[in-house]
Structure 1
């Protein structure tokens, strides 16, 4: 159970997240698997193949290929002794040894928004995972206990929502923005280094000098220099190919398509969430539908608007939406109805106190104080 909890904490999503957060959580697992797999490829495949002189024996061939594979700088052409420094062909770098680390850093970049959300949300509201889990299982209890649980939960939510009006929603949208920034940055990285023809085409349209930006991250055909020390030192230059580069390229092309699709989904998801939370004509209808489903009668639109603006707040709309996504619409409707009852009780109390103190001096100050409490 502990292992499953740790696995879900790192690679899954909580009960207070939507489908887009779930996809981003599984993307962490995808990149982690690619990171481990790219490291294992060195040992389960032949990462490099070099053409060696005929006099080389088995151990010498193994040494040649291993020493060449460990190099991070290669020659794109054979280097002869008659080359001068000015005419000597430049060395080309290859980052095939760093691919597991690069993928690991990409994995961490996908995890950062989730870490920020999980470490900050508890400072602003209740433990949403435990609360949502309790509300999710409340449907299995008998009707009497169910209504009591919903009533208690509504009063707890009501007291907490009076302190946090929109901070939690802003945090959630900020995390969404971080995910979008991460996806766009990773998409640019994968395009520049693994879809270079596309980057060159787009850069030329934008008037950019892509030759100074785009550098090959991996090489396929190289010349490797190494020396063998004996009675005299012999320097050999052998041509080599790196078959592992083709595997890496195919893996990164797949990740390029994955990140592209995920970026489109995440940006659309951010726009929809921002619209739902801050545009009244989108959020009010959903809350009214929940109250209507639970009460069996259509509530007053003015009362619903006042219920959202003065009682629920943006944070309450976010919490109810998360409950409906991760539990059920019935649970969200029942909780909304009980929250609406708490709101009506508060309004009735306010009305009674206003009638009681309405004729006395200083009633305006009392009324202002009551409005602030609501």
Structure 2
């Protein structure tokens, strides 16, 4: 797991290692970095500083004070309102129990892992169906040292492989499922269907993160930000306590001290949790970021459906064809988009366009269009040769009669 997050951190600032759009990178890169940074900060406060400090009786020695701090940190504490005079019995304080703060670093790491999983799935599965987008974009970034025609040929081979693979394995269950997503441009929609699935994966992950935190923190996390703001406004206009009911800094702890025989004593001490001051700020930032990220991911998912399954996605291809000043008919350009590129080819070019510039894209689309024209010319020549061969056999057959 450590190597996984190290790899995620190393990707920051490396703009050539991209094979998706900016919203996806918000999910699997910036969010992971944010959570890992918070993990490092909280871990430093827990294992280096003093995360808890308990008020102990005067007769306690230094080892006993250290033991009290340790047992209360490990055992967990419970929240008690400042104006409550009576300390509840140890069997009645379960509803006030607070036991999440020991596990905050691990909670953040698990969250970061789930944000990175969709990207791992996208990268591995896109390679399986023939599109190594990371390699293609990395080569384009080095276009000064790479022939753009070689990159176009790499995309052409991937498109042809994708089509032939579907024809060969048409009876497989996976391909039958993909036919559900069939669009007007034919069957070349493997990458497009995968891309939509990954977008849905990101959206589900964002929503599940709220449920995950609500379960672990024992309060509705999706309303945390609004309730926190409401509490702050009340504190400004009233003399209410400065204590947070979600991340309390002053808590109570019950533990038992055993003596020889059956002489056991239960101790109830008051403890200070300065770590919760940082936990509250961290989870407030996480709530704000998750609300923003969920909205962006949902918008990105809707736009993805619109761009893939409508003709809107074709407009940028026409722009790059016109930049090349090709003297071709409109019908020929339409066939290049609808019969050659199809959904997957358009998606590949759109992702590349998000990570390059118009000049590179114009050259790349022009190179692909030339490959398409050459393939059409070759098919026509093969058809002419086949017709001539058939005519020759017919003449031979007639002469033999």
TM-score normalised by length of structure 2:
0.72
List per-residue Cα deviations over 1:24-63 (Å, max 9, x = no partner). Answer: 2121121122223222211343322322222223332222
1:193 is the counterpart of 2:216: no
Q: Aligned-pair distance for 1:169?
A: 1.3
Q: Aligned-pair distance for 1:329?
A: 2.3
Per the alignment, residue 75 of structure 2 pairs with 71
List per-residue Cα deviations over 1:216-235 (Å, max 9, x = no partner). Answer: 77554332222334465433
Per the alignment, residue 371 of structure 2 pairs with 342
Given the alignment, which residue of 312, 320, 323 partners 1:293? 323
List per-residue Cα deviations over 1:61-98 (Å, max 9, x = no partner). Answer: 22222211111354746246xx9x7xx45453221112
3-state DSSP of counterpart to 1:223: strand
Question: What aligned pairs does 1:357-372 form with structure 2 within 5 A after superposition?
Answer: none
- Distance in 2, Cα, partners of 1:73 & 1:125: 54
- Distance in 2, Cα, partners of 1:23 & 1:147: 29
Change in CA separation of 1:7 and 1:360 when aligned onto 2, cut-off 3 Å? closer
| Contact 2:77–2:252 (CA under 8 A) maintained in structure 1 | no
Given the alignment, which residue of 9, 14, 17 partners 2:20? 17
Per the alignment, residue 283 of structure 1 pairs with 313
Change in CA separation of 1:131 and 1:90 when aligned onto 2, cut-off 3 Å? closer
Moved more, 179-188 or 249-258: 179-188
Q: Aligned-pair distance for 1:239?
A: 1.8
Given the alignment, which residue of 138, 144, 148 partners 2:143? 138
Per the alignment, residue 190 of structure 2 pairs with 167
| Contact 1:190–1:256 (CA under 8 A) maintained in structure 2 | no
- Distance in 2, Cα, partners of 1:75 & 1:242: 11
Per the alignment, residue 349 of structure 2 pairs with 320
Question: What aligned pairs does 1:34-53 form with structure 2 within 5 A after superposition?
Answer: 34-53=38-57
Change in CA separation of 1:128 and 1:39 when aligned onto 2, cut-off 3 Å? same
Given the alignment, which residue of 262, 283, 286 partners 1:255? 286
Change in CA separation of 1:154 and 1:259 when aligned onto 2, cut-off 3 Å? closer
Per the alignment, residue 367 of structure 1 pairs with none
Per the alignment, residue 311 of structure 1 pairs with 340
3-state DSSP of counterpart to 1:16: coil
Per the alignment, residue 256 of structure 2 pairs with 227
| Contact 1:74–1:224 (CA under 8 A) maintained in structure 2 | yes
The number of aligned residues is 335
Given the alignment, which residue of 119, 136, 153 partners 2:124? 119
Q: Aligned-pair distance for 1:277?
A: 1.9
Structure 2 residue ranges without an equivalent (≥5): 81-85, 167-187, 215-219, 230-244, 392-401
Q: Aligned-pair distance for 1:147?
A: 6.0
- Distance in 2, Cα, partners of 1:150 & 1:47: 55
List per-residue Cα deviations over 1:254-297 (Å, max 9, x = no partner). Answer: 011111111222222222222222211x1221111111112x14
- Distance in 2, Cα, partners of 1:5 & 1:100: 13
3-state DSSP of counterpart to 2:58: coil
Per the alignment, residue 277 of structure 2 pairs with 246
Question: What aligned pairs does 1:73-88 form with structure 2 within 5 A after superposition?
Answer: 74=78, 76=80, 78-79=87-88, 88=92
Q: Aligned-pair distance for 1:341?
A: 1.9
Change in CA separation of 1:309 and 1:233 when aligned onto 2, cut-off 3 Å? same
Change in CA separation of 1:223 and 1:149 when aligned onto 2, cut-off 3 Å? closer
Per the alignment, residue 108 of structure 2 pairs with 103
| Contact 2:52–2:275 (CA under 8 A) maintained in structure 1 | yes
TM-score normalised by length of structure 1:
0.77
Structure 1 residue ranges without an equivalent (≥5): 202-215, 363-374
- Distance in 2, Cα, partners of 1:38 & 1:147: 48
> What RMSD over aligned residues (CA atoms) do the two structures have, in Å?
3.5
3-state DSSP of counterpart to 1:226: strand
| Contact 2:210–2:221 (CA under 8 A) maintained in structure 1 | no
